[in-house]
């Protein structure tokens, strides 16, 4: 049985392995032991805070566990750019007109901005290759079940950066056309700088004026808003939730930044809290659904057969053990996404 739970310090070796396997582009899951340890400690502190007012620097890190092994991870940043601005490109249209020449041109431009600073961010997603769709869905959506149960900890808007296009050698056509000209660093090098140093270096070195897209090489133009094949599965999961590719792009590789109103996401809007009853033989209408307990530091979520009858959620003993619940406790239930 797959189970999602908050990360522990003892998970560090497993998270290092996942970070290395995640490859290029997942900057929120750095292949850096010291940074990963810091993230784990930050997450532990966030889960230990019983009362949260406004969202701040809290970072919640989860792992997907199967048979005692950690096989996936995903995180929530309560407020993107809490310490420093969260930079992205805003895709816009500029109008250049001349009455005398009777010319009116609409030109695609990119403007650097920090509009998304302060939004909730889903990040750090990775599951081992070969795991089925159900495992990926549980890993991704367990975060939203947690948010639904701890709604006061999070703001109104939510985002998720999708990895953009790059090749196996780490060459990003978007980065090569823009960022490389100002940083004189390869895409892989700037990724390391992003992990190791303050993000203010982006504002210090990147151009503050508009980037005129028609002046970029064709390969860079074609990469704008595209999603790396490795991220297509998680992108579908998020789009089925209600996320949309808005007018924002990742500042490094030009990948799409998905945005949504948090309360309109299906898991948040449609999941329901019920008292739980545990029995070996479930009612006939039981079906496979996502279910989580309603605890904080002991949060857990799994996929299990659930029957909701007269407002009571019936689950079997295996699911109860995975969630750490007893009859009379409350659980949150959400239907699976349709394929």
Question: Among all residues, which ones are annotated catalytic?
Answer: 228
Element at 18 (helix H, strand E) = helix 12-22
The Cα–Cα gap between 180 and 198 comes to 18
The Cα–Cα gap between 167 and 174 comes to 12
The Cα–Cα gap between 187 and 203 comes to 17
Whether the Cβ atoms of residue 272 and residue 311 lie closer than 8 Å to each other: no
Q: How far is CA 150 from CA 56, 123, 220, 299, in A?
A: 14, 18, 41, 11
Number of residues written out for the chain: 339
First CA to last CA across the chain, in angstroms? Answer: 21
């Amino acid at each position: 049985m797959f189970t999602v739970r908050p990360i522990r310090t003892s998970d560090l070796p497993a998270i290092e392995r996942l970070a290395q396997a995640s490859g290029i582009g997942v900057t929120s899951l750095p292949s850096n032991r010291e940074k990963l340890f810091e993230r784990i400690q930050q997450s532990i502190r966030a889960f230990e805070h019983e009362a949260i007012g406004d969202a701040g620097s809290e970072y919640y890190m989860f792992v997907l566990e199967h048979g005692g092994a950690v096989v996936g991870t995903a995180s929530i940043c309560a407020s993107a750019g809490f310490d420093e601005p969260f930079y992205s490109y805003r895709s816009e249209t500029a109008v250049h007109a001349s009455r005398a020449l009777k010319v009116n041109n609409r030109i695609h431009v990119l403007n650097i901005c920090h509009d998304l600073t302060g939004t909730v961010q889903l990040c750090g997603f990775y599951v081992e290759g070969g795991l089925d769709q159900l495992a990926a869905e549980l890993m991704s959506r367990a975060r939203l079940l947690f948010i639904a149960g701890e709604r006061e900890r999070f703001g109104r808007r939510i985002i998720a950066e999708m990895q953009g296009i790059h090749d196996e050698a780490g060459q990003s056509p978007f980065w090569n056309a823009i960022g490389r000209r100002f940083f004189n660093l390869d895409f892989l090098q700037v990724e390391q700088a992003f992990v190791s140093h303050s993000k203010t270096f982006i504002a210090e070195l990147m151009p503050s004026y508009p980037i005129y897209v028609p002046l970029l090489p064709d390969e860079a133009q074609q990469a704008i808003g595209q999603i790396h094949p490795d991220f297509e599965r998680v992108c579908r999961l998020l789009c089925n939730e209600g996320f949309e590719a808005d007018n924002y792009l990742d500042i490094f590789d030009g990948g799409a930044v998905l945005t949504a109103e948090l309360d309109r996401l299906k898991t948040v809007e449609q999941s329901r809290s019920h008292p739980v009853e545990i029995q070996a033989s479930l009612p006939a209408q039981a079906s496979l659904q996502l279910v989580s307990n309603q605890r904080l530091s002991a949060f857990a979520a799994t996929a299990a057969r659930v029957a909701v009858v007269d407002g009571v959620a019936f689950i079997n003993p295996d699911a109860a053990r995975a969630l750490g619940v007893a009859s009379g406790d409350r659980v949150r239930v959400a239907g699976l996404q349709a394929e």
